[in-house]
Amino acid sequence: MSRTHCGDRVDTSDEPLVENHWHEYWDRLEEHVFFRVEAEDYVARLAATLGPDLGARVLDFGCGFGFVAELLARKVPALFVFDTSDHMRRQAQLRLAGYANVRILLPPAVASWPEELRLDLVLVNSVVQYMMRDEFHGWLGRWQAMLAPGGRLALLIGTSQRDQAHQICSDLAWSAPLPIPLSTSRILLLGTNLSCSKSVTSGQNNAYH
């Protein structure tokens, strides 16, 4: 999704935000053809960075209109998508309606997520900068807890958020920050769960279809 059309915001400050007005923005944003182009570019870069096998269970967190998810749905056995905006979730649901391997997750306050869900990859692409700091920190803990052994967390975030990710998800093995073309303020950060404790769902690849 276009950082220009979606109102790019990179948190370079260490001060907490006081109020989050972005929800109203996402709830009325209209689709633009450029979002698809950006999604293709992002997914191509992901494949180049992570390799062709993204894993059996992938979560696209903050999925927006679902352009990235639509590309991923053709590649992964089970894809979970979530967006905090009702409008965005509805748009993503329409786009992904033909894919039986996709499940739309509702906000945890509305419907709790499967407790036993363990993911091979959690993608958070250009979402964190729209969160309040506490919310970001809370999600970091949840993303880490949802990773299967060997699972990866791919954060496209502002450079200033790297230390927070390292600190809160200190159990993950973090890659060096990968640069994003034409951006000096954003990086792609990969955290891998090196724990070898057995996933509750291992061997049940299609449990959530």
Ligand X SMILES: C[S@@+](CC[C@H](N)C(=O)[O-])C[C@H]1O[C@@H](n2cnc3c(N)ncnc32)[C@H](O)[C@@H]1O
**Contacts with ligand X, residue ranges (CB under 6 A):** 1, 6, 22, 26, 39, 42, 62-64, 67-68, 83-85, 88, 125-127, 130-131, 135
Quote the CA–CA distance of 149 and 197 in Å, as a whole number.
7
Taking the least distance from each CB to ligand X, the nearer of 81 and 199 is: 81
Nearest 5 degrees, angle CA 176-CA 60-CA 69? 115
Query: In the complex, what is the shortest distance from the CB of residue 174 to ligand X, in angstroms, rounded to a whole number?
Result: 21
144 — alpha (psi -120 to 50), left (phi > 0) or beta? alpha
Taking the least distance from each CB to ligand X, the nearer of 61 and 147 is: 61
Q: 86 in helix, strand or coil?
A: helix
Query: In the complex, what is the shortest distance from the CB of residue 146 to ligand X, in angstroms, rounded to a whole number?
Result: 14
Quote the CA–CA distance of 10 and 157 in Å, as a whole number.
8
Quote the CA–CA distance of 64 and 29 in Å, as a whole number.
10
Taking the least distance from each CB to ligand X, the nearer of 64 and 191 is: 64
Taking the least distance from each CB to ligand X, the nearer of 84 and 183 is: 84
Measured at CB, which residue is nearest to ligand X?
A: 64
Query: In the complex, what is the shortest distance from the CB of residue 25 to ligand X, in angstroms, rounded to a whole number?
Result: 8
* Contact criterion met (CB below 8 Å) for 128 and 12: no
Q: Which two tokens stand for residue 124?
A: 């958070």
CA dist list (Å): 130 to 7, 142, 185, 204: 10, 17, 15, 34
Query: In the complex, what is the shortest distance from the CB of residue 1 to ligand X, in angstroms, rounded to a whole number?
Result: 3
Quote the CA–CA distance of 124 and 174 in Å, as a whole number.
15
Query: In the complex, what is the shortest distance from the CB of residue 149 to ligand X, in angstroms, rounded to a whole number?
Result: 25
Taking the least distance from each CB to ligand X, the nearer of 90 and 149 is: 90
Taking the least distance from each CB to ligand X, the nearer of 31 and 135 is: 135
Query: In the complex, what is the shortest distance from the CB of residue 157 to ligand X, in angstroms, rounded to a whole number?
Result: 12
